[in-house]
Amino acid sequence: MIKLSYESGTLLADVSGDAKPPEPFVWDGRTEQWRAPAGTYRETVLRLREEEIPYTDRAARFEKLSLESRVAMEPRPYQREALNAWRRGELRGVVVLPTGAGKTAVAVRAMERAGRSTLVVVPTLALLKQWYSILSGSFGHSVRVGLLGGGYHEVTPLTVTTYDSAYIHAERYGDRFALVVYDEVHHLPSPKYAVIPKMLLAPYSLGLTATPERPDGGHEMLPELTGPVVYRRSPEDLAGTYLAPFETVRIPVELTAVERVEYAEADAVYRDFLEKHRLSMRSPEDWQRFIMVASTSHSGGREALLAARRRREIRANAERKSATLESLLKQHWHDRTIVFTKSVEEVYALSKRFLVPGITYETPARERKEILDRFREGRYRAVIASDVLNEGVDVPEANVAVILAGSASHREYVQRLGRVLRPREGKRAILYELVTGGTGEEAASRRRREPVTGAYPGASP
Amino acid sequence: MLRGEHVMARLLRGRLVPHRLSPDDERAREVAGALVDLYASHLGRPRAELEEELSLLEEELGPRLDARRGFKILRGLAKLLEERAKWAPPTEADPYTLRTRLFELTATLPELPSATTTLLEGGTREDVLARVSTETGIEDPVSLMYADRQGAQLLSGFEPPTPAALLISRYNVAQIQGVLYSARDLSVDLGREADIRLVFHYVKLLGLIYTLEPTPKGHRLHLDGPLSLFGGTRKYGLRLAKLLPGLLLTAPWTLHANVSWKGREASLELTSETPGLTSHYKGPADAGEGDVREAFAKAWERAKDKGGWEIEEGAGVIPVPPLKAALVPDFAFWNAATGERVHLEILGFWSERYLVERVGLLRAAAKRGYRVLVAAPESLSISTGTLAQATRGYVISFKSRLDAKSVLVALGREDWRGSG
């Protein structure tokens, strides 16, 4: 008789007499016990059953949940296919779908199917809050949704956590979940996070992503960590039929005459200093180097620092930028508009100026849900958000997006576009991009656009 | 503790040298003083302002302290001061209710309220604000609508390190801890005079797994975690780091840690003799055992006719691996004539939870063939019967002082010998 139990991310096998538990158990001389990583639970139980070895299971503490989404949703054909493929893979595997194709809907179905305690692991606090909203909306009537991370520590049979928190806490709660959903699963095969599945008993797992490939080749670990890719569709596969076409409008924002003079002055001081000290400005490290040189320099260092700061301020606060935004908000007051800004502070400044709700990583989960719900219902007309709405945040009713300034990241740009790509009957989304002229932001904007052009029909103006 | 990004160390021939500030360095003391002053003078003011002033200080003092890493050092020091600060919300009004009302009112308007008053347009921003102001009695709703943000919190308390040089010592320990974040395992050679019971207190508290072996000078303790069995992992680095201030409460020891440092294998070596390292842990609460122990040692010395029993130098350690703990009895007696060894465990006035744990250890030790006498105060919340059963031995009850005679009687009991 073998007795299985769970301890701190590992599985213990208590055997009577000289009997040996099957692989992958290893004798742990430190504590005089047979031990295996908790992630081998499924394999262990299958082997014990197959070899007809009697055992008692004191390890698993997950429960059956009757999960039935109250949000009526007819799955799209590819979502149904994805779910079937996952079932054929014995409730283990990765589903690859483009942003905006409704990966979350697949996960909600998978949870219904598994009908057991589920842990959802996400990369950002924004997604933590988003999943909280979705799961509360779907299952909140029968299960209380728990949160672990970002200042929340409430673990329930249906809990959302971040990769960082899972890394720290999985060993405490690793026996409580039967299904793990890894959102943006391409984060999982990193040297740090790859230990998470090892600490979880969960026999079932579902990975979701639009892009499983990692430059470091980490995706090759996915089959071991959460199962192989069981279903895959590219944006091209779904374009036209399921992803709404959209239009991009680029609005160059000129500095006012006063700003232009001031900017030119500050820019000259700053550039003279760079040239004098032979500094380049291509990376964040260059910026730190500049700060260092400037603050130790006795001639002109302080002036250069102030000029650099002023220069940035002018660019960020260009008067016409917010005036342009004001006119766009006016023009689209009867649409659903999301405004993306570069900085959290800008969100709060604009929210105070226009009295329109802002969402950042600081926004509490419940308030965030409330804002997005009201936005969906049309009670709020616009929402201002910082980078937090980046990866796959679901705002189905938005049909206008305004990008105020973004960092030059391809991925980010694609994901942001995905937001307004929500399929909706007869909807044509508009994406405005406000770029301050003559300040270097144009290049960043160009960089962002390149990989997208051509990949999505309608993306190029 | 520091954040990962504040941690700095040099790699010299495979050995890591954590960044260190000299307490004698005039500039380091100036920086520490300036930061402490900044916090101390900030009482009652918002966090966002403090952060701004900190970043100014970073740019001003950082490069003078260290051209390349000055700003990082300052940020690290500030992080350690942050642990001594308390923050409070700036208003009793509920900013959430306030802003929600503002958003709702604004959304009901037929068009976006203009920022400026014009004759032609209906609702303006000012109208919305005036209305909410009347409803809530708050004069300037906009200034408080996000008052629950962290940046708006006011500094309500700050416990300055005195003298400010204490901050430097704390920083130096924190940098070593920072290197340990990336440790895969750690071994400590504990000298005989080291308080091994204290060390086990932290090992247990932090959920680490140990192995123990005797060395000519004391004990070697090897520490890692449950998953380490399946290949080195940095998962337990944080806990190993948290052990360090515990170790610093005792001496002598030397430690060796295997560290995965930026993709390379390296090691960290440290001894309790390293100058300038002080612990900020208070140590486990003493349950009055210390006094009983000392008084007993004196009484034992004075006692005559000890029947050949002598107290052994250094604490005896009884490892109980499956409980991830060890029993470190207060005394070990050795009888040269008979070759017997008996341990004495004095139970202090512990809480019940702690006692249950202790009894578990006693039971396990007895199972492993160790002979442990237990001395328990009469007022203890556990029956001597339970104790006797757990230890298969003899329980000595005492009022406030444990005398040598009752221990000698226990040591000499025939049934005790017979049952071992």
Using the predicted structure, report yes or no on whether residue B118 has a pLDDT greater than 70: no
For residues A180, A183, A186 and A188, what is the CA-based torsion angle, rounded to 10 degrees?
-40
**Closest Cα partner for B1 from B160, B175, B236, B167?**
B175
**Mean pLDDT computed over every residue of chain A:** 82
State if pTM tops 0.90: no
The partner residue sitting opposite A32, judged by closest CB among B59, B125, B322, is B322
The partner residue sitting opposite A295, judged by closest CB among B63, B114, B207, is B63
Q: What is the pLDDT of residues A270-294, one digit of tens each?
A: 899 989 888 888 776 787 788 778 8
A271 and A226 share a domain? no
pLDDT of residue A262: 86
Single residue among A293, A316, A339 that ends a domain in this structure: A316
Tell me the C-alpha distance between A122 and B26, whole Å. 47
Q: Is position A172 within any domain?
A: yes
pLDDT class for A102, splitting at 50, 70, 90? confident
What residues of chain A lie within 8 A of the CB of B102, using their CB?
Answer: 355
pLDDT of residue A7: 94
A82 and A194 share a domain? yes
pLDDT class for A209, splitting at 50, 70, 90? very high
pLDDT class for A458, splitting at 50, 70, 90? very low
Residue with tokens 């390890």: A59
pLDDT class for A245, splitting at 50, 70, 90? low
Tell me the C-alpha distance between B219 and B200, whole Å. 12
Bridge partner list, A339: A384, A402
**What integer is the mean pLDDT of B142-159?**
93
pLDDT of residue A239: 65
Query: CATH no. for residue A7?
Result: 3.40.1170.30
Bridge partner list, A160: A120, A147
pLDDT class for A420, splitting at 50, 70, 90? low
A307 and A404 share a domain? no
Q: What is the pLDDT of residues A374-386, one digit of tens each?
A: 988 889 999 998 7
Total domain count for chain A? 4
A331 and A348 share a domain? yes
A333 and A420 share a domain? yes
Q: Domain ranges in chain B?
A: 4-88+153-171, 95-146, 181-271, 289-419
What residues of chain B lie within 8 A of the CB of A8, using their CB?
Answer: 207, 225-227
Check B111 against A352: CB less than 8 A apart: no
Check B67 against A195: CB less than 8 A apart: no
Candidates B57, B230, B323, partner chain A, best to mutate (most A CBs within 10 A): B230
C-alpha dihedral sign at B228, B233, B239, B245: positive
pLDDT class for A157, splitting at 50, 70, 90? very high
Q: Is position A458 within any domain?
A: no
pLDDT class for A252, splitting at 50, 70, 90? confident
Residue of B nearest to A323 (CA): B115
Highest mean pLDDT among A27-36, A360-369, B112-121: A27-36
Using the predicted structure, report yes or no on whether residue A181 has a pLDDT greater than 90: yes
More confident residue, A253 or B118: A253
Bridge partner list, A64: A116
Candidates B229, B233, B264, partner chain A, best to mutate (most A CBs within 10 A): B229
pLDDT class for A397, splitting at 50, 70, 90? low
How far does A317 lie from chain B, in Å, by closest CA? Answer: 16
pLDDT of residue B11: 95
pLDDT of residue B92: 87
The percent of residues in chain A predicted with pLDDT above 90, rounded, is 38
The partner residue sitting opposite B146, judged by closest CB among A305, A333, A348, is A348
The partner residue sitting opposite B229, judged by closest CB among A26, A357, A371, is A26
Domain limits for position A284: 257-316
pLDDT of residue A149: 93
A34 and A99 share a domain? no
**What integer is the mean pLDDT of B92-111?**
91
A137 and A96 share a domain? yes
More confident residue, A317 or A229: A229
What residues of chain A lie within 8 A of the CB of B111, using their CB?
Answer: 330, 333
Task: Return the minimum-mean-pLDDT range out of A304-318, B131-145, B396-410.
Answer: A304-318
pLDDT class for A459, splitting at 50, 70, 90? very low
Highest mean pLDDT among A147-161, A307-321, A427-441: A147-161
Query: CATH no. for residue A346?
Result: 3.40.50.300
pLDDT of residue A241: 58
Highest mean pLDDT among A322-336, B139-153, B292-306, B325-339: B139-153
Residue of A nearest to B147 (CA): A348
A129 and A102 share a domain? yes
Candidates B121, B185, B227, partner chain A, best to mutate (most A CBs within 10 A): B227
**How many other β-carbons are positioned within 10 Å of the β-carbon of residue B415?**
9
Bridge partner list, B190: B219, B253
Cβ atoms of residues B71 and B58 within 8 Å? yes
Q: Is position A426 within any domain?
A: yes
Q: Does domain B289-419 have CATH number 2.60.120?
A: no
Using the predicted structure, report yes or no on whether residue A4 has a pLDDT greater than 80: yes
Q: Is position A241 within any domain?
A: no
Q: Distance from CA of residue A459 to its chain's centroid?
A: 23
**Closest Cα partner for A402 from A371, A376, A435?**
A435
How far does B170 lie from chain A, in Å, by closest CA? Answer: 25
**What integer is the mean pLDDT of B289-306?**
85
Q: Is position A461 within any domain?
A: no
A295 and A423 share a domain? no
pLDDT of residue A457: 34
The topology under which CATH files domain B181-271 is Alpha-Beta Plaits (3.30.70)
Check A355 against B230: CB less than 8 A apart: no
Candidates B112, B118, B221, B222, partner chain A, best to mutate (most A CBs within 10 A): B112
The percent of residues in chain B predicted with pLDDT above 90, rounded, is 45
A212 and A266 share a domain? no
pLDDT class for A408, splitting at 50, 70, 90? very low
Using the predicted structure, report yes or no on whether residue B379 has a pLDDT greater than 50: yes
What residues of chain A lie within 8 A of the CB of B59, using their CB?
Answer: 291, 295, 305
Task: Return the minimum-mean-pLDDT range out of A249-263, B114-128, B279-293.
Answer: B114-128
A378 and A263 share a domain? no
Residue of A nearest to B212 (CA): A30
Q: What is the pLDDT of residues B36-75, one digit of tens each?
A: 999 999 999 999 999 989 988 888 888 888 888 888 999 9
Q: Is position A419 within any domain?
A: yes
Cβ-count burial B76-110 (b if 16+ within 10 Å, e if not): bbbbbbeeebebeebeebebbebbbbbbbbbbebe
* DSSP assignment string, B39-95: HHTTTTSBHHHHHHHHHHHHHHHHHHH-TTTHHHHHHHHHHHHHTTEEEE-S-SS-H
**What integer is the mean pLDDT of A381-407?**
67
Task: Return the minimum-mean-pLDDT range out of A99-113, A158-172, A304-318, B145-159.
Answer: A304-318
Tell me the C-alpha distance between A298 and B269, whole Å. 41
Give residue B311's identity as a one-letter amino acid code: I
The partner residue sitting opposite B227, judged by closest CB among A37, A356, A362, is A37
Check B322 against A198: CB less than 8 A apart: no
Using the predicted structure, report yes or no on whether residue A23 has a pLDDT greater than 50: yes
Cβ atoms of residues B247 and B188 within 8 Å? yes
**What integer is the mean pLDDT of B95-114?**
89
**What integer is the mean pLDDT of B396-416?**
79
Check A7 against B230: CB less than 8 A apart: no
pLDDT class for A391, splitting at 50, 70, 90? very low
Cα–Cα distances in angstroms (integers) from residue A42 to residues A105, A182, A197, A215, A317, in the given order: 26, 18, 12, 30, 56
Using the predicted structure, report yes or no on whether residue A199 has a pLDDT greater than 90: yes
pLDDT of residue A402: 84
Q: Is position A63 within any domain?
A: no
Q: Is position A163 within any domain?
A: yes
**Mean pLDDT computed over every residue of chain B:** 87
A178 and A274 share a domain? no
What residues of chain B lie within 8 A of the CB of A11, using their CB?
Answer: none
Using the predicted structure, report yes or no on whether residue A68 has a pLDDT greater than 90: no
Burial class of A16 by CB neighbour count within 10 A (0 to 12, 13 to 18, 19+)? exposed
Q: What is the pLDDT of residues B306-361, one digit of tens each?
A: 888 888 876 678 888 888 888 888 888 988 888 888 888 888 766 666 777 788 88
Highest mean pLDDT among A245-259, A324-338, A434-448, B386-400: A324-338
pLDDT of residue A460: 31
**ipTM of the complex as predicted:** 0.73
Tell me the C-alpha distance between A112 and A204, whole Å. 13
Distance separating the N- and C-terminal Cα atoms of chain A: 69
Q: Distance from CA of residue B205 to its chain's centroid?
A: 9
Check A354 against B112: CB less than 8 A apart: yes
